């Protein structure tokens, strides 16, 4: 059986990974990068009751994703827990990379910002933390490093701190401040602590200062999401999944067609075509299709229906095409929240619709024993 996943956001990356682990032949095709770069890298927990999964299925899915990320080098903590969002609030998560501040029980904190790095922290984060913990965080802004100019983006900051010079700049300033902060208070740094060496640098600073050290997310684009996206795509390439750039226009007679004339056969298609970037659509339960952001009506699903930026499929696709991720019928993460949780659930459901139960032991090429699930 051959599969094509359309979309390179979290839903498409997850679906392609699970197919690969289950020994299925799969191609991933996408017009653009997905929305992971908007994220801090935390999977929103959401309301488990929004989809008909039982507690055991949820737990299994979260554990599955944690192990999958672990095999890519992304260490995680499993929740439930609270974490800081890039918009400043404390939000619920079930899976959080270890670089990010995330705890079931928020307490007093030492927060550092960098002069010359735009962030959303000062007012909103500080008051959210104060309200949740009852403590005012110890707050400090570090001066601009030598060589800084106003063209420095978050990515430029991260590559500076990846280098010896940048790490030295940061460590020296933090060591000066450290005696002024009560012992045991975790240190939170902006999410630019390296593009590549994040874990190593945070551990090293933590050892020096003798306290836990984490990142807090900035406004997008988010380094946390970029790190995960890049590691995830590299993992897929290493396991032989073709990542194809191109815009899909049709799925007809079990063939995928791109706008540049390329085409290939696909027994199953998963649409993970999202809604933030890439002209996503939302299919309502009554079959009406609308543009996901503006809610402009684009048409009604019938056999041979086609509409603008997405693509069309014929009636023979019934039963071999499913939607997952933000695209999934009736779900809007901006309204319903639950981003990460719903991605897990909708990918699980879409694969099941196509005859693959990912909660069973992978046939070959899998990396998990599923023992204890």
**What distance in Å separates the CA atoms of residue 156 and residue 36, rounded to the nearest whole number?**
19
**What is the nearest approach in angstroms of ligand FAD to the Cβ of residue 43?**
5
Does residue 251 bind ligand FAD (CB under 6 A)? no
Binding mask 255-274 for ligand FAD (x = CB under 6 A): -----------------xxx
The phi and psi torsions of 57 (rounded to 5 degrees) equal -60, -45
Does residue 7 bind ligand FAD (CB under 6 A)? yes
Cis peptide before 323 (omega within 30 of 0): no
**What is the nearest approach in angstroms of ligand FAD to the Cβ of residue 214?**
15
Among candidates 298, 355, 372, which has minimal Cα distance to 3?
Answer: 355
Contacts with ligand FAD by CB under 6 A: the residue count is 40
**What is the nearest approach in angstroms of ligand FAD to the Cβ of residue 100?**
10
Does residue 226 bind ligand FAD (CB under 6 A)? no
**CA dist list (Å): 69 to 29, 158, 180, 367:** 21, 21, 37, 11
Does residue 333 bind ligand FAD (CB under 6 A)? yes
The residue from 96, 325, 344, 358 that contacts ligand FAD (CB under 6 A) is 325
**What is the nearest approach in angstroms of ligand FAD to the Cβ of residue 337?**
8
Are the C-beta atoms of 263 and 34 separated by less than 8 Å? no
Binding mask 275-294 for ligand FAD (x = CB under 6 A): xxxxxx--------------
Does residue 326 bind ligand FAD (CB under 6 A)? yes
Helix (H) or strand (E) holding 334: helix 333-336
The residue from 191, 320, 339, 350 that contacts ligand FAD (CB under 6 A) is 339
Tokens coding 324 = 């997952």
**CA dist list (Å): 23 to 2, 8, 26, 299, 364:** 11, 20, 9, 37, 5
Cis peptide before 301 (omega within 30 of 0): no
The residue from 3, 4, 5, 12 that contacts ligand FAD (CB under 6 A) is 12
Does residue 44 bind ligand FAD (CB under 6 A)? yes
Tokens coding 260 = 């540049």
Does residue 247 bind ligand FAD (CB under 6 A)? yes
Tokens coding 278 = 């890439």
The residue from 310, 317, 350, 358 that contacts ligand FAD (CB under 6 A) is 310
The residue from 5, 19, 28, 30 that contacts ligand FAD (CB under 6 A) is 30
**What distance in Å separates the CA atoms of residue 77 and residue 101, rounded to the nearest whole number?**
10
Tokens coding 231 = 């590691």
Are the C-beta atoms of 200 and 175 separated by less than 8 Å? no
35-50 as b/e: b if 16+ CB within 10 A: bbbbbbbbbbbbebee
Does residue 79 bind ligand FAD (CB under 6 A)? no
Does residue 340 bind ligand FAD (CB under 6 A)? yes
Closer residue to ligand FAD (CB): 29 or 142: 29
Does residue 9 bind ligand FAD (CB under 6 A)? yes
Q: Which residues bind ligand FAD (CB under 6 A)?
A: 6-12, 29-32, 34-35, 38-40, 42-44, 220, 247-248, 272-280, 310-311, 325-327, 333, 339-340, 343
């Amino acid at each position: 059986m051959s599969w094509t996943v359309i979309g390179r956001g979290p839903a498409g990356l997850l679906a392609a990974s699970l197919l690969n682990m289950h020994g299925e032949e799969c191609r991933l095709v996408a017009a653009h990068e997905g929305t992971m770069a908007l994220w801090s890298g935390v999977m929103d927990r959401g309301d488990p009751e929004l989809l008909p999964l039982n507690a055991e299925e949820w737990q299994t899915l979260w554990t599955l994703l944690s192990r999958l990320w672990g095999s890519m080098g992304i260490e995680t903590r499993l929740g439930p827990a609270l974490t800081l969002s890039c918009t400043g609030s404390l939000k619920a998560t079930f899976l959080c990379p270890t670089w990010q501040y995330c705890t079931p029980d928020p307490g007093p904190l030492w927060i550092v910002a960098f002069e010359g790095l735009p962030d959303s922290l000062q007012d909103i984060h500080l008051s959210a933390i104060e309200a949740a913990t009852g403590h005012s965080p110890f707050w400090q802004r570090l001066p601009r490093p030598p060589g800084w100019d106003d063209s420095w983006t978050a990515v430029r900051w991260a590559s500076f701190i990846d280098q010896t010079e940048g790490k030295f700049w940061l460590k020296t300033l933090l060591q000066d401040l450290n005696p002024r902060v009560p012992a045991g208070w975790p240190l939170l740094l902006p999410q630019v602590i390296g593009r590549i060496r994040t874990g190593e640098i945070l551990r090293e600073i933590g050892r020096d200062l003798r306290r836990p050290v984490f990142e807090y997310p900035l406004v997008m684009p988010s380094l946390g999401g970029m790190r995960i996206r890049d590691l995830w795509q590299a993992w897929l390439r290493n396991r032989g999944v073709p990542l194809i750039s191109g815009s899909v226009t049709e799925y007809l007679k079990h063939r995928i067609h791109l706008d540049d004339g390329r085409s290939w056969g696909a027994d199953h298609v998963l649409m993970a075509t999202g809604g933030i970037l890439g002209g996503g659509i939302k299919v309502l339960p009554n079959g009406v299709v609308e543009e996901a952001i503006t809610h402009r009506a684009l048409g009604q699903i019938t056999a041979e229906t086609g509409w603008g930026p997405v693509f069309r499929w014929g009636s023979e696709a019934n039963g071999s095409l499913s939607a997952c991720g933000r695209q999934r019928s009736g779900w809007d993460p901006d309204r319903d929240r639950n981003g990460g949780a719903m991605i897990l659930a909708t990918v699980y459901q879409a694969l099941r619709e196509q005859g693959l139960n990912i909660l069973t032991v992978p046939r070959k090429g899998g990396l998990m024993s599923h023992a204890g699930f």
